[in-house]
Amino acid sequence: MSRVAVVTGAARGVGAQVVRTLAEDDWKVVAVDVCADDPALDYPLGTREQLRELAAAWPGAVRDVVADVREQDELRAAVEVAEREFGGVDAAVAAAAVMAGGRPLWETTDAELDALFDAGVRGVVNLARAAVPAMLRRPEPRSGRFVALASAAGHTGLYHLAGYNAAKHAVVGLIRGLANDLRGTGVNATAVSPGSTRTDMLTATAGLYDLDDVDQFGPHQLLDRILEPEEVAAAVCWLCHERSSAVTGTVVHADGGFTA
C-alpha cells in the first residue's frame, strides 16, 4: 500500500521536487501552496498554475490543495484531504518559506520579519499541529515522519539576512523540541538544511546582494557549485522513508559543504 505525505511550499522549488520524488516512489501526496504573492516581499511566489501542473503530471497520486501555512484551519483541511482521499498521513514536509532582507537588522521592517516568521516558522508549527495528530492516528507500529526545511542559514550568520537567520535557527529548535515531544511514538522529527540551491528563492536572494547570477553563490560551498533541487529533495525523501528510523531530533546538512 502506498504511503501518504503532505508537502507545503509545493508549487515550485525544493517543495515541488519533493512531491515529484515521492510520487516517483509510489507515494500519494497532498501538494499544498498558498499560490498568492505577499505584499511584504518584492518577488513573486508560486502560482496556482504551477501547482495544478504538478498535480496533473501525477493523476491519482498527487492532489493539489491551495492553502496558506499561516492559517491553521487551512492546513488541518489539507490533512483531512489526505486522510479522506488517501487513507491517512505517514509523512509531512514543511517546505514553505520566504526570503526577505538585504539590509542590516536595525533597518529590517516589521513586515519583512512578519513574512519570514509567519511563513517559515509559524507555518512549520501549523503543519505539525495538523499533521502529527494524523500520523499518531496510524496504527502501531508507526513510522511517521515530520521533516522541515531549515537552511545553512540556521547554523551560521549571513550578511544582511539576520531575520532569515533567526527564522531558520527557530526551525531547528522547533524540530529538536518536537522530536522530544514525539519520544516513543514511532513518529520522528528531523530537518534538512540546504545550502544555496537553484530555486526562485535563491534568485530573490541574489537580487538582495545585487548579483547577476545565482551561480556566484557556488564558491561558498565545498562542491564549488550551487545545488540542484533534486539533490536536496533526495535527502528530504530519504528522511520520509521507513529506513530513516534511527534519525530524529537532528539536522541533515544537505548544503554542499556550506557550513563545513
Note the pLDDT tens digit of each residue in 115-140.
999 999 999 999 999 999 999 999 99
Q: Is the pLDDT of residue 228 over 90?
A: yes
E strands present in 121-224: 145-149, 188-192
Question: What is the per-residue burial (b if ≥16 Cβ within 10 Å, else e) of 76-114?
Answer: bebbebbeeebebbbbbbbbbbbbbbbeeeeebeeebbb
Per-residue pLDDT, 13: 98
CA distance 79 to 89: 7
CA dihedral 26, 30, 34, 35 (to 10 degrees): 50
Average pLDDT over residues 94-99: 98
Phi, psi of 110 (to 5 degrees): -60, -40
Residue 206 DSSP class: H
Smallest CA-to-CA distance from 10 within 58, 39, 57, 50 is with 50
Q: Would you place residue 93 in the very low, low, confident or very high pLDDT band (cuts 50, 70, 90)?
A: very high
CA distance 249 to 146: 10
Smallest CA-to-CA distance from 149 within 189, 203, 208, 207 is with 189
What pLDDT digit, counting tens, does each position of 138-157 carry? Answer: 999 999 999 999 999 999 99
Q: Is the pLDDT of residue 46 over 90?
A: yes
Per-residue pLDDT, 1: 72
Give the whole-number percent of the chain exceeding pLDDT 90.
99
What pLDDT digit, counting tens, does each position of 158-209 carry? Answer: 999 999 999 999 999 999 999 999 999 999 999 999 999 999 999 999 999 9
Q: Would you place residue 67 in the very low, low, confident or very high pLDDT band (cuts 50, 70, 90)?
A: very high
Per-residue pLDDT, 88: 98
Domains of the chain: which residue ranges?
A: 4-252
CA distance 69 to 91: 16
Q: What is the overall mean pLDDT for the chain?
A: 97
Smallest CA-to-CA distance from 33 within 55, 19, 48 is with 48
Q: Would you place residue 107 in the very low, low, confident or very high pLDDT band (cuts 50, 70, 90)?
A: very high
Single-letter residue type at 18: V
pTM exceeding the 0.95 threshold for the entire prediction: yes
Would you tell me how many other CB atoms lie within 10 Å of the CB of residue 26? 10
Smallest CA-to-CA distance from 198 within 216, 177, 185, 176 is with 216
Nine cell digits for residue 86: 488517501
Contacts for 28 with CB less than 8 Å, ≥ 6 apart: 2, 3, 4, 5, 61, 62, 63, 82, 85, 86
Q: How far is the first Cα of the chain from the last one, in angstroms, to the nearest whole number?
A: 40
Q: Which CATH architecture has domain 4-252?
A: 3-Layer(aba) Sandwich (3.40)
CA distance 31 to 22: 11
